[in-house]
Structure 1
Amino acid sequence: MSYRRGWIALFLFCLSMINYMDRIALSIAAKPIATEFKLSSVGMGYLFSSFIWSYALFLLPMGFLIDRFGTKRMAALGIFVWSAATVLTGAASTFVSLMCARLVMGAGESTSNPVGAKVIRQWIPANERGMVTSMFNSGSYAGPAICSVLLGSLVALFGWRMSFVIAGAIGFVWLAAWLIFFDAPEKVRWLKSNERDKIVRERDSAPANASAQPESAAGLLALMRSPTLWGLAITQGCNVYTQYLFLTWLPSYLQATRHLSITNTGLFSAVPYAASVALCILAGRLSDRYLKKSGVGTGRRRNAVALAMMTGATILMVPFTSNLFVLLLVFSVTLTGIASTTSLNFALLNDLLPSSRDVAKAMAFVVVGGQAFGMIAPIATGYVIDATGSYDWAFGIAGLLLLAGATVVLTMTRSPMLRDNEAASAQVAI
């Protein structure tokens, strides 16, 4: 990949990393927050889940706004809102104000994934899409890896409030760089003409056997008639459930059952997240190589998605693992699987979507599917812990959902997302 469009991949990686740093900050500080506000496991479950409510609510409107007003302005608006809300979380004096700050943060973060998908479609040639999507998504695992170490130490040294102020401030640095350097490839001055021509020529690739014109938008309602879009959304949901289980409850699990301190919890959590970053990017690169001969429009990336989900189902081994080193290995494999699933599923969406003008809204729909499951995970886990006094069933439910998602992606994403008069004749090769 060219050095200069590589800067776009770095922008997206950092956007996702900051997004998830701000999300996991609450999990790192869960113990002192629960003590200060006198919250039970069920109460913490609702607090963990709260930002997802507004996140899911705003995703589809944001998708339409991004397609309408562009990625530069909407990404800037989104990160400004969620970074400010993260800073203000540190000033919360009541449970209600804490909840409100999380809801505003979720609304701001709803721009992130639709923006990422749209920027990748604008900037990245189709045969590099898997790797760059993986780089974008791997930021969501680099964020928790860095945040687990950094904020774990800050909470231990200065208290939980300061950790939110520092986490939120990082977003404003990204915002300044974005406003200065980013625009569409046709507009930026720092891109060489030969690279600009390559991007514009190779960024769109129609699904195999599809007759749709690449620049003819179908609209969300038309796309929703396709089982493929629903299959991608359900697959995302089965995967995101486990992602949020880790984001919200992993530190508490390590402290309650493995008796680790806050600082040691941060260090332990960072290792599997860091491992998943490198392995996720590798999985994306391998998926591009896998599709090199057949082309991305065949939809064969679904096989890689299913394999990644079955890898993530390694989480089923957690209740049977007592050794900390083995547990670290299981968590690393599981997080690699779910990280790769998300990036490959997002790439598969772009593979099977004829028009670039529909990308943000289609991505928003798929992410809403993920968040529908994701908002349940923290709450359901809280009830499971309260009812059983154990985390075992929480990990079991997550593993079974991953296996179900592998089945869904193999059976429901076999056709491109086309208008009704085209869908009947367009079948994607296995």
Structure 2
Amino acid sequence: MNTTTATSAAGATAEAPTRARFGILALLATGTMINYLDRTVLGIAAPTLSKDLGLSPAVMGFVFSAFAWTYAAAQIPGGVFLDRFGNKLTYFLSLTFWSLFTLLQGFATGLYSLVAMRLGLGISEAPCFPANSRIVSTWFPQKERARATSIYTVGEYVGLAFFSPVLFYIMGMYGWQALFIIVGLVGIAFGVVWWACYREPADSRWANRAELAHIEAGGGLAARREQTVPFSWANVRLLLSYRQIWGASIGQFAGNATLVFFVTWFPTYLATERHMGWVKVGFFAVLPFIAAGVGVMFGGWLSDRLLTRTGSANLARKLPIVAGLLLASTIVAANYVDRDEVVIAILSVAFFGQGMVGLGWVVIADIAPTKLMGLTGGIYNFMTNLSGITTPLVIGFIVGSTGSFVWALAFMAVLALLGALSYVFLLGDIRRIELPDTF
């Protein structure tokens, strides 16, 4: 009897780990790609849509910003919902409703209906990235999280890079309304796929005991049950008492400004400031997004490699992010060149750097207290996405007032430098926050 048990245990120990976590990662990458297509298709439609609906640059800045009002405001409630109802249901509802609001934008007839749909889109998308972070922390050991985060984050850029020419073609052939309807329908269909395929580690039919042991040994939460914690403002105040939360959030706020520019005003910048035709815009718009995707992957690879070689989470997480923010600040150099090819090269370098800043979600996965991961991600994403409110408005005001993007690019460069300073001087040590014993 004992011999049989020992043999069975030895067999389990020798069992090769499955790779079910990478199937989960594929779901996250696809969902993130659809997420960014849905929130940014307005940027592609903007030059034509604004003419059809009679919207000025300042008003378009207001429309771009509207998404971020509710997106930021719903971050903490979305994190609380995530902690209460778990990953699967939260992501499914978020994905389905944001896709529906994207589809409905295709039926907008003026400013008010368009803004209403953008507000609904913001509320619906709010839980997505906190859920991504929580799922990665659950399914991946610490030494694999940066690369896992970079792989799903690259979906933000790859979808826009490779689908932008197709979307410009659809708009040219069928009008801007078709963009919203097609992208919205794709998201609703993927919501069904998510519900059918996603499982938590303990419930997975594809993850064996060896993989679960590998995840938990590396600091994952594979063997832990979902912990539901009621929301309280005391928990918010507690989290905000830690400098790690402030340092990461301010740094990501700054880096996010560059991303917001590219997903809102970038096509308009090429068409109006650089006077490019639609064919040229469709081609050139791809290149910075490809560069950003490479930056995401490079940052994740570099971070995990540094962690393996040095064992220092501080060096492995901070160095790529700070370097990325410094590269993002070079966007201002586009003001001083005339050739389109050089402008795109500069913007591609800046967006490459911004891609590396996506590692901020790894930082949150590393520092968030176990019982408040959703709330921590919500607070972080709330502060990060305040730049989604301010950046479109500031750029719209600058362009409307000056007729130029010159000071808009300078504004984003200054923010990127401030973000680098936040990661260097404010963030402190990157380690999981331990809540008081009385919690």
Structure 2 length as normaliser, TM-score? 0.89
Matches within 5 A, 1:17-416: 17-204=33-220, 219-295=235-311, 297-298=313-314, 300-342=316-358, 344-353=359-368, 355-415=369-429, 416=431
Q: Which range is displaced more, 303-312 or 248-257?
A: 303-312
When residues 105 and 226 of structure 1 are mapped into structure 2, their CA distance, relative to the original with a 3 A threshold, is same
Distance in 2 (CA, whole Å) between partners of 1:216 and 1:299 is: 33
8 A Cα contact 1:19 1:143, kept in partner = no
8 A Cα contact 1:152 1:266, kept in partner = yes
Larger radius of gyration: 2
Partner AA of 2:31 in structure 1: L
Partner AA of 1:349 in structure 2: I
Instruction: Report the CA distance between 1:414 and its aligned residue.
Output: 1.0
Partner AA of 1:10 in structure 2: A
Distance in 1 (CA, whole Å) between partners of 2:390 and 2:198 is: 36
When residues 216 and 226 of structure 1 are mapped into structure 2, their CA distance, relative to the original with a 3 A threshold, is farther
Once the two structures are superposed, what CA deviation does each residue of 1:259-302 show, in whole Å capped at 9, x if it has no partner?
22234312211121023213311220111110114436556512
Distance in 2 (CA, whole Å) between partners of 1:148 and 1:326 is: 21
Instruction: Report the CA distance between 1:191 and its aligned residue.
Output: 1.9
Secondary structure of the corresponding residue to residue 292 of structure 1: helix
Partner AA of 2:411 in structure 1: I
Once the two structures are superposed, what CA deviation does each residue of 1:150-174 show, in whole Å capped at 9, x if it has no partner?
2111110000001110011111222
Distance in 2 (CA, whole Å) between partners of 1:420 and 1:168 is: 41
8 A Cα contact 2:147 2:301, kept in partner = yes
Alignment RMSD (CA, Å): 2.1
Q: Which runs of 4+ in 1 moved over 6 A?
A: 215-218
Distance in 2 (CA, whole Å) between partners of 1:216 and 1:154 is: 45
When residues 39 and 74 of structure 1 are mapped into structure 2, their CA distance, relative to the original with a 3 A threshold, is same
8 A Cα contact 1:127 1:296, kept in partner = no
Structure 1 length as normaliser, TM-score? 0.91
Aligned to 1:427: none
Instruction: Report the CA distance between 1:216 and its aligned residue.
Output: 12
Partner AA of 1:59 in structure 2: Q
Once the two structures are superposed, what CA deviation does each residue of 1:213-260 show, in whole Å capped at 9, x if it has no partner?
xx9989433221011101111111111111111111110010012222
Instruction: Report the CA distance between 1:321 and its aligned residue.
Output: 2.0
Instruction: Report the CA distance between 1:421 and its aligned residue.
Output: 6.3
Instruction: Report the CA distance between 1:94 and its aligned residue.
Output: 2.5
Instruction: Report the CA distance between 1:8 and its aligned residue.
Output: 1.6
Instruction: Report the CA distance between 1:419 and its aligned residue.
Output: 5.4
Once the two structures are superposed, what CA deviation does each residue of 1:100-130 show, in whole Å capped at 9, x if it has no partner?
1111111111111011001001101110011
When residues 357 and 174 of structure 1 are mapped into structure 2, their CA distance, relative to the original with a 3 A threshold, is farther
Distance in 2 (CA, whole Å) between partners of 1:286 and 1:219 is: 34
Q: Which range is displaced more, 255-264 or 290-299?
A: 290-299
Partner AA of 1:27 in structure 2: G
Distance in 2 (CA, whole Å) between partners of 1:421 and 1:297 is: 23
Partner AA of 2:362 in structure 1: A
Distance in 2 (CA, whole Å) between partners of 1:278 and 1:420 is: 37
8 A Cα contact 1:86 1:167, kept in partner = yes
8 A Cα contact 2:271 2:281, kept in partner = yes
Distance in 1 (CA, whole Å) between partners of 2:184 and 2:147 is: 28
Once the two structures are superposed, what CA deviation does each residue of 1:382-423 show, in whole Å capped at 9, x if it has no partner?
11112212101100110111011101111111144645869x
Distance in 1 (CA, whole Å) between partners of 2:365 and 2:204 is: 24
8 A Cα contact 1:129 1:347, kept in partner = yes
Distance in 1 (CA, whole Å) between partners of 2:349 and 2:23 is: 29
Distance in 2 (CA, whole Å) between partners of 1:381 and 1:298 is: 34
8 A Cα contact 2:366 2:432, kept in partner = no
Distance in 2 (CA, whole Å) between partners of 1:228 and 1:203 is: 19
Distance in 2 (CA, whole Å) between partners of 1:216 and 1:127 is: 27
Distance in 1 (CA, whole Å) between partners of 2:372 and 2:18 is: 26
Instruction: Report the CA distance between 1:67 and its aligned residue.
Output: 1.2
Secondary structure of the corresponding residue to residue 385 of structure 2: helix
Distance in 2 (CA, whole Å) between partners of 1:286 and 1:300 is: 7
Distance in 1 (CA, whole Å) between partners of 2:291 and 2:21 is: 25
Distance in 2 (CA, whole Å) between partners of 1:292 and 1:41 is: 48
When residues 395 and 298 of structure 1 are mapped into structure 2, their CA distance, relative to the original with a 3 A threshold, is closer
Secondary structure of the corresponding residue to residue 86 of structure 1: helix
Instruction: Report the CA distance between 1:308 and its aligned residue.
Output: 1.2
Aligned to 1:425: none
